[in-house]
Amino acid sequence: MEFKDTIMGKITKGAIISWGENDENGNWFTPTEEQAEQMLSEGGLTLGEKVIDYSSSDKATNDKTYGSEVAAINGLVELISKSNKEMTPEERQALTEQIKTEIYTQGELSPEMQEKIKKSFERLGTNASMIEVLKTIHDNWVKTNPNNFLKPNRNKERQFVPLQLLDWKEVESDLLFLKPIIEGAGITIDDKSLRERFEISQLTYMIDHNIVSHENLVKYLQGGSRSYEALEGLETKFGGSIDELLQNPEVAEKMAQQIEGRVKIQSPEELAKTIDESEIETLDEVLWIQTVEYGAFDKEKLPVLNGPISRREILLSKLTGKPYRKEVFTGVIDYRHEKYENVVRDPRDSEWDAADAYERRIKEERQARITSKDIAEADKENALTKTEVGGIRKLINKIKEFFKGKGEK
């Protein structure tokens, strides 16, 4: 396998196109796609008397490392550990080193590692898992780079915020290092749907934290580690505790202006319009049907079949303060309201589909129940002996066997 086709080769290509290189005169330039391909081929790219050679894994990882692929690996290991809570710190470290070894020396992930990564992605789904890893990468960067806060001439205090307060272009930069690893595990990443998932999480974060004006944003930032936990205990050599620095109105104001230069802060009315008019299909995902599938709550408390709730409606409900019936929200984790607002609306097609699916499920479950009448019929056909009737365990097993395909599993 040529280096350009390995995971590290794809990481390197993305990085050199995105970040650029110095030419023979020391001037920064952005390589073209063809130049990047040449850099990754035998002989590298000749710039005057300077040769930049990325043509082997050894040269790329020893002479031209970025470090960011390690951050991506650490974020991935964090996700894997969350799906396997029994992992010890030693096992996590061993897993980190194993992924590094496979990427740097073999150029690809082993089948066993691919399966481990795929399994960890099943818990949240592909896009949500990617956002989770990107969040971990960013949080870890914040924790390890406090001296970049208020660094002279840098003017990037805006980076010391949760992932959801960054713009997509900045979030996307970490994908250069994460995406080739995940795709190397056989997981397909759709850039469009991933960006849409990020935009939904960004809207949700703004609503949940009441960031609906410049003043609200400044107030949020002054909360420091109370607003963003990763800031807790961080000290910068340019002024001390970041928590204390953010109490300075000038620092928080400067930071807010930097954020608003890249991320639009919308009023409640603007947010409502954005959510209502958005064509992101996953906003119409019906959430309470999912909670039924995973048994997250008592099925007896489910609402009458006229109100499956979409993500779009949950966001609008929280934003406007006019929620749907409380009993509907009992099936949606973290979205419970005490008030009642009876709003007549026309259900979307996705909601009717979800309601139909749920109705079919309940009907099948009812048909599958074994009743006293079923037992009597079985006894009448001599399917049960007197000895078996006298033994509860044997009786249950015999009933299950007799009604196999109809009874409970």
State which amino acid sits at residue 211. I
Tokens of 408: 């409970």
HSE (side-chain half, CA atoms, 13 Å) at 236: 20
Mean pLDDT, rounded, for 132-151: 96
Nearest to 181 by CA among 109, 124, 78: 109
pLDDT band at 135 (very low <50, low <70, confident <90, very high): very high
Cα(322)–Cα(339) distance, integer angstroms? 8
Distance between CA atoms of 325 and 336, rounded to whole angstroms?
Answer: 9
The amino acid occupying position 347 is P
The mean pLDDT of the chain is 76
Q: Where are the domains of the chain?
A: 3-63, 68-265, 282-366, 369-402
Query: Which range, of 7-16, 23-32, 142-151, averages the lowest pLDDT?
Result: 23-32
Residues constituting the chain:
409
Question: Which range is least confidently modeled, 250-259, 353-362, 388-397?
Answer: 388-397
Q: Give residue-wise pLDDT tens across range 313-333.
A: 778 777 766 544 333 333 333
Burial class (CB in 10 A: 0-12, 13-18, 19+), 207: buried
Digit-coded pLDDT (tens) for 107-125: 899 999 999 999 999 988 8
Residue 349 pLDDT grade (very low, low, confident, very high; cuts 50, 70, 90): low
Instruction: Evaluate whether 68 touches 61 at the Cβ level (below 8 Å).
Output: no
Pairing of strands 45-47, 28-29: unpaired
Q: Tokens in use for 120?
A: 């960890």
227-235 contacts at long range (C-beta below 8 A, 24 or more positions apart): 228/160, 228/161, 228/162, 230/139, 230/142, 230/143, 230/162, 231/142, 231/160, 234/142, 234/143, 234/146, 234/149, 235/146
Helix axes 191-208, 168-183, angle to 10 degrees: 130
pLDDT in tens, 146-163: 999 999 999 999 999 999
Q: pLDDT tens digits, residue range 66-76?
A: 568 889 999 99
Handedness of CA 305, 333, 167, 8 (dihedral sign): negative
Please, are residues 22 and 7 in contact by the beta-carbon 8 Å criterion? no
